[in-house]
């Protein structure tokens, strides 16, 4: 009998934990002769009764396990902790807010049995999404796929199945700034896709704010591509070329050819224009380099990715 792990990161989801557990049990009841079930909840520093709800389930059902963080480390790190500790032959990741339709889990397992090692849930565009979210998502994937070393499928989600060999390889990755789905795409392996319509959140409000999404996008750009770093050098080369041509034109036109247009520029004006322009380019370059320096700093100090306060595994 194969074991399937269900991984659920949770932050302030006390009202959603038990309904989700009941749905999962109902889904796997017809499959109990084929799959052994392991449900791992990762309590990501919740300030409500999320942990109590999980502990209550774990007391009654030995298949329910949990990891309790010492503080909020974020969804990407919570997902990593679950993958580090799951025991299944395959792991299915899903959100605690019920937006990922658990009814599709048998379809994910069927793809896995057909030989696919990664099965990715692709979220269909929702009419309820704001135009800002839609435009931002489209821009993010367009830019990321232009500059990244790997291709990320637009609207792919963390609702996905990973084979044990993929989990083992993922657990070898040790960077602290991470976008889980992009790292899984970087690993490769045979993959299949399942499209779905996201459900409405059952209870509570989303804890993934706009600025957290922006931070995740920036981490993705920095960790998956060297183009922003190279861009500073490209900008410097272009500006040096154009400023050199412009300076040469003004010098020749003003002092040798006596061009009327070139003569309108005083020496101080020429100097001021070039200084301000080049200072701006230098500041842009420093900003880009700072992103990479900050990322290097996080990696070299070798802090643990997460701290577990207690667990039941």
165 pLDDT higher than 90: yes
- Residue 137: inside a domain, yes or no? yes
**HSE-up of residue 288 (Cα within 13 Å, Cβ side):** 19
CB 249 within 8 A of CB 265: no
Same domain, 113 and 188: yes
Same domain, 146 and 246: no
For the segment 251-274, the average pLDDT, to the nearest whole number, is: 67
Beta-carbon contacts of residue 94 (< 8 Å; ≥ 6 apart): 6, 7, 8, 100, 102, 158, 159
Same domain, 284 and 135: no
Joined tokens for residue 88: 């299944």
Of 178, 209, 240, the residue at which a domain comes to its end is 209
CA distance 276 to 220: 32
208 pLDDT higher than 60: no
pLDDT bucket at 140, cuts 50 / 70 / 90? low
- Closest by Cα among 162, 167, 42 to 92: 162
The least confident of 111-120, 125-134, 151-160, 261-270 is: 125-134
Of 152, 174, 209, the residue at which a domain comes to its end is 209
As for how many domains the chain has, the answer is 2
260 pLDDT higher than 70: no
pLDDT given for residue 224 in this prediction:
59
- Closest by Cα among 266, 250, 270 to 258: 250
pLDDT bucket at 306, cuts 50 / 70 / 90? confident
pLDDT given for residue 82 in this prediction:
92
- Closest by Cα among 69, 36, 41 to 55: 41
- Residue 14: inside a domain, yes or no? yes
Same domain, 255 and 161: no
Same domain, 296 and 161: no
pLDDT bucket at 116, cuts 50 / 70 / 90? very high
């Amino acid at each position: 009998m194969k074991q399937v792990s269900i991984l659920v990161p949770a932050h302030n989801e006390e009202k959603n934990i038990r309904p989700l557990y009941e749905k999962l049990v109902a889904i796997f009841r017809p499959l109990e002769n084929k799959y052994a079930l392991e449900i791992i909840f990762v309590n990501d520093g919740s300030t409500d009764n999320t942990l109590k709800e999980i502990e209550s389930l774990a007391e009654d059902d030995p298949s329910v396990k949990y990891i309790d963080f010492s503080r909020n480390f974020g969804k990407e790190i919570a997902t990593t902790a679950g993958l580090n500790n799951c025991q299944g032959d395959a792991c299915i990741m899903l959100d605690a807010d019920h937006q990922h339709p658990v009814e599709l889990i048998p379809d994910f397992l069927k793809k896995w049995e057909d030989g696919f090692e990664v099965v990715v849930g692709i979220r269909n565009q929702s009419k309820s999404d704001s135009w800002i979210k839609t435009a931002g998502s489209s821009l993010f994937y367009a830019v990321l796929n232009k500059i990244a070393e790997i291709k990320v499928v637009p609207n792919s989600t963390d609702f996905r199945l990973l084979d044990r060999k993929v989990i083992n390889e993922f657990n070898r990755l040790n960077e602290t700034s991470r976008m889980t789905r992009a790292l899984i795409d970087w690993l490769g392996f045979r993959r299949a896709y399942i499209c779905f319509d996201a459900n409405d959140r059952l209870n509570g409000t989303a804890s993934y704010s706009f600025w957290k999404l922006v931070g995740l996008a920036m981490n993705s750009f920095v960790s998956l591509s060297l183009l922003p770093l190279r861009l500073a050098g490209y900008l410097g080369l272009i500006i040096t070329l154009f400023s050199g041509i412009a300076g040469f034109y003004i010098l020749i036109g003003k002092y040798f050819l006596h061009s009327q247009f070139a003569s309108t520029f005083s020496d101080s004006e020429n100097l001021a224009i070039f200084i301000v322009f080049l200072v701006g380019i230098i500041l842009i370059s420093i900003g880009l380099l700072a992103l990479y320096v900050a990322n290097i700093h996080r990696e070299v100090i070798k802090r643990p990715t997460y701290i577990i306060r207690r667990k039941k595994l």
